[in-house]
Amino acid sequence: MATIDSKIPEGALAEKWTNYKAHQKLVNPANKRRLDIIVVGTGLAGASAAASLGALGFKVLNFCIQDSPRRAHSIAAQGGINAAKNYQNDGDSVYRLFYDTIKGGDYRAREANVYRLAEVSNAIIDQCVAQGVPFAREYGGLLDNRSFGGAQVSRTFYARGQTGQQLLLGAYSALSREVQRGNVKLYTRYEMLDVVLIKDNEGVERARGIIARNLVTGKIERFAAHAVVIGTGGYGNTYFLSTNAMASNGSAAMQIYRKGAYFANPCFAQIHPTCIPVHGDKQSKLTLMSESLRNDGRIWVPKKLEDAKALQAGTKKPTDIPDADRDFYLERRYPAFGNLVPRDVASRAAKERCDAGFGVNNTGLAVFLDFKYAIDRLGEDVVRARYGNLFDMYEEITDENPYKTPMMIFRLSTTPWVVSGLTTN
- Tens digit of each residue's pLDDT (9 = 90 or more) over 143-178: 999 988 888 999 999 998 889 999 999 999 999 999
Q: At what angle do helices 111-130 and 16-23 cross, to 10 degrees?
A: 70
- How far is the C-alpha of 230 from the C-alpha of 63, rounded, in Å? 10
pLDDT for 418 beyond 70: no
Pick the more confident residue, 262 or 1. Answer: 262
Residue 237 lies in a domain: no
Please indicate, yes or no, if residue 152 is contained in any of the structural domains: yes
Domain CATH for 395: 3.90.700.10
- Bigger pLDDT: 246 vs 31: 31
- Please state, in angstroms and rounded to a whole number, the distance separating the CA atoms of residues 113 and 102: 10
| Same-domain check for residues 277 and 155 | no
326, 303 contact by CB (below 8 A):
yes
Q: Does residue 35 belong to any structural domain of this protein?
A: no
Rounded CA-CA distance 263/305 in Å is: 48
pLDDT range class, residue 296, cuts 50, 70, 90: very high
Percent above pLDDT 70 for the chain? 89
Q: What pLDDT does residue 72 have?
A: 81
- Residue 391 covered by a domain: yes
**Residue 234 has what pLDDT?**
63
| 94: in domain | yes
Asked if residue 159 lies in contact with residue 134, where contact means CB atoms within 8 angstroms, the answer is: yes
pLDDT digit string (tens) for 41-76?
A: 999 999 999 999 999 999 999 999 988 887 787 877
Q: Answer with the residue of higher pLDDT: 105 or 346.
A: 346
What is the model's pLDDT at position 248?
57
The pLDDT > 90 percentage for the chain reads 64
pLDDT in tens, 210-248: 999 999 999 999 999 999 999 887 655 555 555 554 455
Whether residue 283 sits in one domain with residue 156: no
Tens digit of pLDDT for each residue in 18-30? 999 999 999 999 9
Average pLDDT over every residue of 256-266: 74
Is residue 343 annotated as a catalytic residue, yes or no? yes
Q: Could you tell me the CA-to-CA distances from 180 to 173, 184, 342 in Å, in that order?
A: 11, 8, 44
Checking if the pLDDT of 106 tops 90, the result is: no
Evaluate whether residue 42 is within a structural domain.
no
Name the pLDDT band for 261 (thresholds 50, 70, 90).
confident
Q: Residue 246: its pLDDT value, please?
A: 46
Distance between CA atoms of 42 and 70, rounded to whole angstroms?
Answer: 7
CB 136 within 8 Å of CB 386: yes
Q: 66 lies in a domain?
A: no
Both 146 and 278 in a single domain? no
Catalytic residue among 343, 353, 386, 411: 343
Domain encompassing residue 295: 271-415
- Angle of helix 111-130 relative to helix 94-104, nearest 10 degrees? 120
Of 126, 161, 196, the residue at which a domain comes to its end is 161
Asked if 156 and 278 sit in the same domain, the reply is no
Given a cut of 90, whether residue 421 has pLDDT beyond it is no
Q: With CA atoms as reference, report the closest residue to 64 among 45, 99, 85, 39.
A: 39
Predicted local distance difference test score (pLDDT) of residue 343: 86
Domain count of the fold of the chain? 2
Query: Would you say residue 3 has pLDDT above 80?
Result: no
List of residues 6+ apart from 217 with CB closer than 8 A: none
Q: Specify the pTM.
A: 0.83
pLDDT for res 150 = 87
pLDDT in the model for residue 266: 57
In DSSP terms, 197 is beta-bridged to: 207
pLDDT in tens, 333-388: 999 999 999 888 999 999 999 999 999 988 899 999 999 999 999 999 999 988 99
In the prediction, which pLDDT does 268 show?
53
CA pair distance 146, 295, nearest whole angstrom: 7
* 25 assigned to some structural domain: no
| Residue after which a domain boundary falls, among 92, 127, 161 | 161
Regarding whether 147 and 282 lie in a shared domain, the answer is no
- Name which of 12-21, 27-36, 124-133, 270-279 the model is least confident about: 270-279
What pLDDT is recorded for position 411?
83
Does residue 424 have a pLDDT over 50?
no
Pairwise pLDDT comparison (284 vs 286), residue with the higher score? 286
The last residue of a domain, from among 141, 161, 181: 161
- Does one domain contain both 156 and 279? no
